[in-house]
Amino acid sequence: MVDKKGRRRSDRPPVDLAGDLKAKRAEFVHTFFKRGAEFTEELVAENERLRGRLAALETENTKLRTQLAKDSAVRELLGKIGQLERERERLLGEVHEAEETTNRFTNRFSEIETELENFANLYVASYQLHSTLKLPVVLRHLRELLLQLVGARALAFFVVDESKRKLVAVASDGVERSALAPITVHDAAPSGSGAAAIIERVFLTGIARVLGDDVARATLDSPAACVPMRVDDEIVGVIVIYTLLPQKKSFAAVDHELFKLLGAHAAVALTGALLYQRAGNARPSLDSLHDVGT
């Protein structure tokens, strides 16, 4: 046999084909296993990386789930808080309304208490004024009414002596009666500012003179109140309150009502007591009452 170069097979050097193939196979197997090992290592590494990533994602997932749960709870709590706030506002409104109602009732109750006390005072004044015909007792009641109900500290009752045209102090308290000189009554009301002029003016005009908020400045020369006393339409005297107790800062509405009552009733009580005294404390007979009836 001749090869391409014209040489005979017997001419060519001997070739170890089996060994060559064996070597090549060994190399291939070596490379194959090496690559396989490398690939396996890569796979293991990738697997590890993926496991780590999975764990991280699971952790993150757990965190997110927790966060979501928290947010939901917070939203729920915020909703509850809002509801409670509204409830609180509603209840506060009701409380304020109830307080206003209570205050209204308290004020009204206080007003009624004051009115009740005022009525009681006026009732007692009227009752006591006409509860006796004894002159000293009438005078004592008049003094007590002014001391207790009005809070007078110094006072006097002047009654006109028509024959002498003088106002004479018939009773006093807190000031000596002897210190109260009779006041001459002129034809016209005087314009002076002293106590005598004020009392005379009140007697002649029939108009009471009562100080306002400045009662603390009242003195014996500038009385706190002068009230004319009437029997029917005739003025017969003047009630004079010179000064008041320190705690009495001004006259109240009930004081003015009491002045009106005393102005209309004091002189009647005094006149009745005077007539009774002049009659020797003799009560009218039944016959005289019959005469009045006819």
Partner 1 sequence: MSAEYSCLVVEDSPMMRQLLVLALSRVKSLRVTEADDGVDGLRKLAGGKFDIILTDINMPIMDGLKLVKRVRTDPMHKNTPIIVITTEGSSEDRKRALELGANAYITKPIQAPQVIAKVKELLKIDT
Give the angle 142-182-241 at the CA atoms, nearest 5°: 35
Scan for tokens 């009452």, then name that residue.
289
Return the number of other C-beta atoms located less than 10 Å from residue 240's C-beta: 28
Residue type, 224: A
Nearer to partner 1, 112 or 279 (CB): 112
Nearer to partner 1, 230 or 248 (CB): 248
CB 175 within 8 A of CB 220: yes
Find the shortest distance in angstroms from Cβ 282 to partner 1: 23
Nearer to partner 1, 125 or 180 (CB): 125
User: Which one of residues 135, 138, 139, 151 is an interface residue with partner 1 (CB under 8 A)?
Assistant: 151
**Strand (E) positions, 62-196?**
152-161, 166-173, 183-184
Q: What is the footprint of partner 1 within residues 90-119 (CB under 8 A)?
A: 113, 116-117
Total number of residues binding partner 1 (CB under 8 A)?
22
Find the shortest distance in angstroms from Cβ 204 to partner 1: 31
CB 236 within 8 A of CB 170: no
Q: What is the footprint of partner 1 within residues 118-147 (CB under 8 A)?
A: 120-121, 123-124, 127-128, 131, 140-141, 144-145, 147
Nearer to partner 1, 121 or 172 (CB): 121
Find the shortest distance in angstroms from Cβ 294 to partner 1: 36
Q: What is the footprint of partner 1 within residues 169-188 (CB under 8 A)?
A: none
CB 145 within 8 A of CB 126: no
- Over its C-alpha atoms, the chain yields an Rg (Å, rounded) of 60
Dihedral sign computed on CA atoms, order 220, 222, 227, 228: positive
Which residues contribute to the site for partner 1 (CB under 8 A)? 113, 116-117, 120-121, 123-124, 127-128, 131, 140-141, 144-145, 147-151, 245-247
